[in-house]
Structure 1
Amino acid sequence: MRRSILIAALMLHAVLFVQAQEITSPDKNLTLKFELQGNGVPTYQLHYKQREVIKPSKLGLETKDVPSFLDGFTITKTEQGTFDESWNPVWGEEKTIRNHYNELLVTLTQKAVQDRYIRIRFRLFNDGLGFRYEFPSQKNLNYFIIKEEHTQFALTGDHKAFWLPGDFDTQEYETVTSNLSEIRGKMKAAVTPNVSQTTFSPTGVQTPLMLKSKDGLYINIHEAALIDYSCMSLNLDDKNFVLESFLTPDAIGDKGYMQAPTQSPWRTVIVSDKAAGILESRLILNLNEPTKYKDVSWIKPIKYVGVWWEMITGKSTWAYTDLENVQLGITDYSKTKPNGKHGATTQHVKEYIDFAAKNGLDAVLVEGWNQGWEDWFGKTKDYVFDFVTPYPDFDVKEIHRYAASKGIKIIMHHETSGSVRNYERHLDTAYKFMVENGYNAVKSGYVGQIIPRGEHHYGQWLVNHYLYDITKAADYKIMVNAHEAVRPTGLCRTYPNLIGNEAARGTEYEAFGGNNPDHTTILPFTRLMGGPMDYTPGIFETQCSVYNPENKSFVHTTLVHQLALYVTMYSPLQMAADLPETYNKYMDAFQFIKDVAVDWDESHILEAEPGDYITIARKAKNKEEWYIGSITDENPRIANITFEYLPKGKTYEATVYADGKDASYDKNPKSYAIRKIKVTSKTILKQPVASGGGMAISIK
């Protein structure tokens, strides 16, 4: 049941008597203090269990065309209240989420600007803080342009940080682990090449930013409900350890176009004295609005395979020919010579459909099915794809018929080539085409420089496009998995057909030189804080040269680590990313992928340390089945597995998928052992985990 309690206590004070406002979290562990400093500058500070987390930090926005919202304020009204509800996500890591916070709403008036006023709303949860700027409708405030937001996060010292270079166009960097004071010196090496990238500062970093203080506090800084606003990065003052918001600009350098009434996204600070507390937080989801859709029955978690990894490794190609000059609607593909390596052929896709049907999977993703792939990568062409015209060797109608006969859905792929204008031009037609041919999910991509030229992937204009795409898809009952889009901020609560995102360095980079062994021990603390990732795990053949002799890259994990990712890297959209012929060689290990759920009733963080290891247990939605995943970095360790979450008095059979005694990610990644054991709520299992390795357990 949904339970809502809203208690609002208005506290109006004469301005002369207002000094500072404080609220505490419901459990009293967190304390927020708001006050005006000299010249009416708004500030806040945050304490956790009487330990300082955020020192007094300035708030405000600098504007281009009207007086700024930085100083000259007086407090003219304060309101406090508490809110407590429980809600059920359409899909998620738990069946029920509690949304419980205490709130402070401060009205600030600038007397010198014709009594113009704004509000700052603070919500203090047991796991952290969310706050935003609100601009009510009023006589002296209408349209304004943001030059920069100057929200500060003044830290207490030189914290350990897990960071990505600040960039307006990509998150596809390897996470760097260092002290804040070391960011400047490590930035140049951290900015590795990408087809589209725009860094902005030698100390600029992206959010979610994961931090650990010297006295053992875990702190995560991000944002929630990013709508009609530019994505926030953070610029570090590395002498004073103050982070300040830095918004993504548009083509002419403006950071946001606003019209009252409106508000900013929430700025979030999640705090815990245990690493597990960060992973358990649902603060970002709670700061988003409930779902906008009355009917959500068409939104379903998906486990899928696809014509994809073979192109990533170079075994096959997206393109039908080797032409170097292609113009859609002019090039006659029926008169061109096929290159013989095109992956998305009717017959080949049927093989994937057969594999999915035989092994109880839900869907097949097909990339490279449509005309135009030969001539766009690295260019800024406006009109590359029309999203409805297949290559001569891909029969849309026959694939629809064959997949339907096997009970398998086909996932559409829309690569926009960065031409957002062209995608919007074709969007309705493309979605209608999907409905007519039985597609209910789409993977969209935004590779390359954005058209219109000068816009960035994370600017306000693109943020609005991504949401337009999602809401338009909902009109056709289509689920969206967006790649190269802005990193998520919990909008999947409001728009649950946003079933996945990439927005980080995924498995594909294992074929481009490799991800560090600690990569997936960090992502749950950073990228996944705002929503699930389509990480595409499940690679069993770790040597890319097996598929393409010219590709010498290898996967920097063991095979069992790949199994564990289905539990530790939460997503309602999970791909078995390797090729069917490889899975057929390891069907005993593939059994875990067949069994593991993609939607959950409960989740328990058993042990965690960012950059080192994670162990998670989850209960499958509406089933008496549990799954455990444990992963580590390059350092072997002993995973400590408890089972106290199991019902007392019952005995279960657990299938343990473990690294072999001689396993390691770099020397013997495919060594594994499978055994069955009996477990109860009192069982404690100590399991060796190899270098770059893992462990996966299914309990029934």
Structure 2
Amino acid sequence: MKRLSLTVSIILFFCFSFQAIDAQQLLSPNGNFRLDFSLGTAGNPIYQLSYKGKEIIKPSGLGFALKNDSFSLLDGFVITDSVRSTVNTTWAPVWGEVKSVTNHYNELALTLTQSKARRRIVIHFRAFDDGLGFRYEFPAQENLTYLVIKEEKTQFALTGDHTAFWIPGDYDTQEYDYTTSRLSQIRGLMKQAITPNASQTPFSPTGVQTALMLKTDDGIYINLHEAALINYPCMSLNLDDKHFIFESWLTPDAWGDKGNIQAPCVTPWRTIIASDDARDIVASKMTYNLNEPCKLTETSWIHPMKYVGVWWEMITGKSTWSYTDDFPSVVLGQTDYSTAKPNGRHGATTENVKRYIDFAARNGFDAVLVEGWNVGWEDWFGHMKDKVFDFVTPYPDFHMQELHEYAQAHHVKLIMHNETSSSVRNYERQLDTAFHFMKNNGYDAVKTGYVGNILPAGEYHYNQWMVNHYQYVVEKAASYHIMVNGHEAVRPTGIARTYPNMIGNESARGTEYQAFGGSKPNHVTILPFTRLLGGPMDYTPGIFEMDISKVNPGNKSHCNSTICNQLALYVTMYSPLQMAADLPENYERFPDAFQFIKDVAVDWDDSKYLEAEPGKYITVARNAKGTGNWFVGSVNGDSVRVSTIDFRFLAPGKKYLATVYADAPDAHWKTNPQAYVIRKYVVTRESRLRQQCAPGGGYAISLFEK
């Protein structure tokens, strides 16, 4: 009897130690999502999430480990306040996939107090019809004013060994190809997934980056990400691959700290988007809805655009950014370029830029990007050098005033390139000078770059210090009415709602890698589920010559897609900033296919996701802003498939001339990438289409009202 009593006591104690107290519940407006919040017996915050009655996040911990603090923010809490609210509004983006966005959620704000430490935090939960967002608030208080984060301990406990579409966790780059695997396979595949980059700092054999796309065995799609990343380190995720629990992993600063907080303040939102239909994931606007409304009082100067540029010829190695081969090193302001011998391969010459301006003007493009126009490129990379560029001094063969007048006469803008070489202090010192220079020369858009390791040494591309820098650049640019396209910057998290002059980012593996050895053919079928949830990507599509050796005989790379796949990207990879990236002469070889790039819009009134499966295919239809015209794009992964769509998105009672740009029957990304056929049909909303898509292929359709 004594042994039995002891056993019962142990069982009762075990159950009690994990018993939840102070339980709270929150439902999404449509009731599909249910959040359950509770405190464990140690006063530790716990949440779990279900979708349509199925658990998708098991009980998961919340809180912070603090540096040099006798109390953590992990336990010892009691709930001292609970506030509920509902919001149901719409807002109109300055540019976007749709002309209006519905913002409908139920919110639960829980005040948690540590009585022993006499301090409190608030956790805000917002349940939308497409998922859950939550964040921490640190109210103003005497005993919690300045704190240093050792680690944020937010957990996402998954229900099984899901399929994941992932890139390695890294403090400095997102420019990796996606790997598709089970969660349990990440550790074994990590080494081969980490491919070379100009700056990279992987942190764990099971660390991955957000936005992380997952699929359960019973067909539920789950996306883990963050929104409104302001004054805080970027979050990655580290996997406990025995229990399938992800925990937040913040990017540290040069001292190893994971964030410096001064109350009152809030963290970014942690987001969980889920559905049993993959189309709902890519259509979600939850990330944007968790950001603040537009802070710019006047936005008429912000305009979507299509552009060409002196860029691909340098990426492929046909030409160079540098002007001369004479200098083993360059000292800014002292090196005399007037006596230097031109290398004969410099791309940003006056005559070459004029050629691109002429091409843009003939074909209806808005702008020309010019890289390598300013002095310093001979000695810019890999030296941890503070003063690399001054952003105002052109090379001798780049005549600024002449090109300004020439572009203006042709009604074409020039896009300025500010490569910082990751010398961040140097750029901040010169921002006002650089932006004054741009405005004086008629430039209203800048492409920024952060190639290489961050200077000051020890900082990372995605830590709090750099997040604040990127935000400073966007806000400073807004004060000059300049639009920003950031490359190598932290991934966007919906901040373009607040600052819509942030019209583009790279922040992922873009088209340039097709000239560096190639990307997987299914890469573009994953990006809309991951990188693009936080904001548009300057993917730089439109490559028609897939054999890079025909551009530069010394480069044996191959662009792993068909021409029709490249056309479809202008629809599937949403961006208000779209580049026709190839050389003008390659477009002139395929004028009938190039017509789609000339026709396709860059701003939209409506978007319909017709087909979607991460890693396999995505088909999107978009209605050009202010018109009745529609454009459809479909990109395909590794295998031949037949896409089947209908045209019910078209207006009733109207006819449209459909021009279909499709892979030829024998097209293949590797063996026959330039094989395509163009067919024209008259269609209505009752019409249907069955279209074969090649491996790495796809199709594009323009639909003009008759």
Partner of 1:179: 182
Given candidates 314, 331, 337, the residue that maps to 2:335 is: 331
Q: Which moved more, 1:324-333 or 1:264-273?
A: 324-333
Matches within 5 A, 1:412-427: 412-427=416-431
1:568-605 Cα distance to aligned partner (Å, 9 max, x none):
00000000000111111111111100000101111001
Cα deviation, residue 65, structure 1: 3.3
Q: 1:327-476 alignment to 2 at 5 Å?
A: 327-476=331-480
* Partner residue of 1:578 out of 578, 582, 604: 582
**Distance of 2:104 and 2:688 partners within structure 1:** 33
Specify which of 256, 281, 285 is matched with residue 278 of structure 1.
Answer: 281
Partner residue in 2 for 1:559: 563
Q: Deviations 1:349-408 (Å, cap 9, x if unpaired)?
A: 001000001101100000000000011212211110000000000001111000000100
> How much does 1:18 deviate?
6.5
Q: 1:486 aligns with which of 483, 490, 493?
A: 490
Equivalents in 1 of 2:256, 2:403: separation in Å?
A: 47
Residue aligning to 1:670? 674
1:616: which partner in 2? Answer: 620
The letter for the 2-side match of 1:670 is: Q
- Asked if the contact 2:137/2:267 (under 8 Å) is kept, the reply is yes
For 2:73 and 2:184, locate their aligned partners in 1 and report how far apart those are by CA, in whole Å: 30
Supply the RMSD in Å over aligned alpha carbons.
1.0
The answer for the alignment partner of 1:155 in structure 2 is 158
Alignment partner of 1:88 is 2:109: no
Aligned residue identity for 2:551: Y
Partner Cα distance (1:324, 1:196) in 2 = 23
Q: Which runs of 4+ in 1 moved over 3 A?
A: none
Residue identity in the other structure for 2:28: S
Secondary structure of 1:566's aligned partner: helix
Q: Distance in 2 between matches of 1:348 and 1:652?
A: 40
State the 1:547 CA deviation. 1.1
| Aligned-partner Cα distance in 2 for 1:379–1:189 | 28
Whole-Å Cα distance in 2 between the matches of residues 65 and 124 of structure 1?
Answer: 35
Matches of 1:577 and 1:279 in 2, distance apart? Answer: 25
Tell me whether 1:506 sits opposite 2:510 in the alignment: yes
1:678 is displaced (CA, Å) by: 1.0
One-letter identity of the residue aligned with 1:696: A
Corresponding position of 2:657: 653
Corresponding residue to 1:317 among 320, 324, 332? 320
Partner of 2:217: 214
SS in 2 for 1:646: coil
1:75-122 residue CA offsets vs partner (Å, 9 max, x unmatched): 0111111100000000000000000000000000000102x1110000
Amino acid at match of 2:67: K
Matched pairs, number: 684
Runs of 5+ consecutive residues of structure 2 not aligned to the other structure: 1-19
Looking at structure 1, the residues matched to 412 and 653 of structure 2 have their Cα atoms a distance apart, in angstroms, of 40
* CA deviation string 1:24-74 (max 9, x = no partner): 000001100110012100010000000001000000011113322110000
Query: Kindly, what percent of the aligned residue pairs are identical?
Result: 65
Amino acid at match of 2:201: T
Q: For residue 539 of structure 1, what is the aligned residue in structure 2?
A: 543
Aligned to 1:253: 256
Provide, for residues 165-202 of structure 1, a one-character-per-residue CA deviation record: whole Å limited to 9, x for no partner.
00000001111100000000000111111110001111
Q: Distance in 2 between matches of 1:142 and 1:223?
A: 24
Tell me the distance in 2 between the aligned counterparts of 1:328 and 1:139. 49
Matches within 5 A, 1:106-125: 106-114=110-118, 116-125=119-128
Is 2:268 the counterpart of 1:295? Answer: no
Deviation at 1:141, TM superposition (A): 1.6
Contact 1:234 1:244 in 2 (8 A): yes
How far apart in 1 are the matches of 2:650 and 2:198?
Answer: 48
**CA separation in 1, counterparts of 2:645 and 2:39?**
49
Of 637, 653, 661, which residue of structure 1 is paired with 2:641?
637
User: Would the aligned equivalents of 1:487 and 1:527 in 2 still touch at CA under 8 Å?
Assistant: yes
Paired with 2:21 and 2:265, the residues of 1 have a C-alpha distance of: 26
Determine the C-alpha separation between the residues in 1 that align with 2:54 and 2:147: 39
Tell me if structure 2 keeps the 8 A contact 1:18–1:75. Answer: no
CA contact (8 A) 1:466 1:485 kept: yes
Give the CA deviation at 1:325.
1.2
- The secondary structure found in structure 1 opposite 2:357 is helix
Check the 8 A contact 1:80/1:102 in 2, yes or no. Answer: yes
Shift of 1:324: 2.1
Q: Which amino acid aligns with 1:283?
A: M
SS in 2 for 1:581: helix
Equivalent residues in 2 for 1:120-159 (5 A)? 120-159=123-162
Note the 1:255-270 alignment, pairs <5 A. 255-270=258-273
> In 2, Cα distance between the equivalents of 1:432 and 1:19?
57
For 2:526, which of 519, 522, 525 is the aligned residue? 522
Tell me what 1:33 maps to: 36
* Structure 2 CA distance for aligned equivalents of residues 69 and 196 of structure 1: 34
Could you tell me which amino acid in structure 2 is paired with residue 347 of structure 1? Answer: E
Tell me, yes or no, if structure 1 residue 46 matches structure 2 residue 49.
Answer: yes
Q: 2:607 aligns with which of 603, 606, 630?
A: 603
Q: Following the alignment from structure 2 to structure 1, what is the Cα–Cα distance between the partners of residues 696 and 268?
A: 37
Equivalent AA in structure 2 for residue 503 of structure 1: S
Partner secondary structure for residue 215 of structure 1: coil
Distance 1:550 1:534 in 2: 27
Q: Which runs of 5+ in 1 are unaligned?
A: 1-16
Q: Is the 8 A contact 1:416 1:447 kept in 2?
A: yes
* Maintained 8 Å contact 2:21/2:39: no
Range that drifts further, 506-515 or 135-144: 135-144
Q: TM-score, normalization: structure 2?
A: 0.96
Correspondence for 1:695: 699
Give the letter aligned to residue 224 of structure 1: A
Q: 1:23 maps to which residue?
A: 26
Shift of residue 138 of structure 1? 1.3
Cα distance in 1 between the residues matched to 2:666 and 2:299:
48
